[in-house]
């Protein structure tokens, strides 16, 4: 379970759980939604039967985008934060951590972040929250895209196995796409910083 997709999914669940629960901190009316989503996320699903990473990444990216551009949605961030925290516990179990310890860590980290963001004004200022939301958006999109990219990469390598220079062309195209995505995300970041 040490694939790049699994690592990116683990990072997405950790970052998303922290940023979405921090965004919902201080609103007592969303605590039941947060707890329910966590219970559903950590319901004891076997690690090999987890939802598709494309869905998890797409939903996390959509919620991050919604929170960046329409921050008044009351229930979306806590529901997604609780579900990502529950999935984090399951992913930690898949890494070999006992289930109770994984669930305890999955609860403790977002809870501590929410608690400290309420008690200390300098702990998570709004600019830092917006940047973390942008990172969650980018990581969610990466998790949603990684399965398709790796499948396409493997297919291209299998089809071009006989040609000696085919892998060099594939790597050149991959570098171009990665560079274009970095420039696009940098432009989005600069537009959001000006708001």
Task: Report residue 174's pLDDT band, with 50, 70 and 90 as the boundaries.
Answer: low
| Greater pLDDT, 110 or 50 | 110
* CA gap 159, 137 in Å, rounded: 33
The model's confidence at residue 164, banded by pLDDT at 50, 70 and 90, is low
- Residue 123 token pair: 């702990």
The C-alpha atoms of residue 183 and residue 175 are separated, in whole angstroms, by 12
Question: pLDDT category, 1, cuts 50, 70, 90?
Answer: low
Q: Which residue has the higher pLDDT, 178 or 182?
A: 182
Give CA angle at 22 (189, 127), nearest 5°.
30
DSSP SS3 for 168: helix
Q: What's 124's DSSP letter?
A: S
DSSP state of 73: -
Nearest to 127 by CA among 188, 56, 35, 193: 193
DSSP, collapsed to helix, strand or coil, labels residue 177 as helix
Average pLDDT over residues 53-58: 90
Query: Measured in Å, how far apart are the chain's first and last C-alpha atoms?
Result: 40
Q: How far apart are CA 100 and CA 97, in angstroms?
A: 8
Q: What's the token pair of residue 162?
A: 């006989």
What pLDDT was estimated at residue 44? Answer: 64
Rounded to the nearest 10 degrees, the angle between the axes of helix 53-69 and helix 76-94 is 150
pLDDT digits (tens, 9 = 90+) for 65-89: 998 888 777 778 888 888 888 888 8
């Amino acid at each position: 379970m040490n694939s790049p997709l699994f690592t990116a999914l683990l990072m997405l669940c950790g970052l998303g759980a922290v940023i979405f629960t921090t965004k919902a901190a201080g609103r007592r009316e969303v605590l039941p939604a947060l707890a329910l989503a966590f219970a559903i996320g950590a319901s004891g699903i076997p690690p090999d039967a987890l939802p598709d990473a494309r869905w998890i990444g797409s939903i996390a990216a959509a919620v991050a985008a919604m929170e960046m551009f329409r921050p008044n949605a009351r229930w979306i961030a806590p529901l997604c934060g609780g579900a990502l925290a529950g999935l984090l516990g399951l992913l930690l179990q898949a890494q070999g951590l006992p289930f109770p310890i994984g669930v305890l860590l999955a609860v403790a980290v977002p809870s501590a972040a929410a608690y400290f963001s309420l008690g200390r004004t300098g702990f998570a200022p709004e600019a830092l929250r917006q940047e973390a939301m942008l990172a969650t958006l980018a990581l969610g999109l990466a998790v949603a895209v990684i399965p398709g990219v790796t499948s396409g990469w493997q297919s291209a390598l299998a089809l071009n196995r006989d040609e000696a220079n085919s892998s060099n062309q594939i790597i050149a195209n991959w570098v171009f796409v990665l560079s274009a995505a970095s420039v696009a995300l940098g432009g989005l970041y600069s537009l959001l910083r000006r708001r």
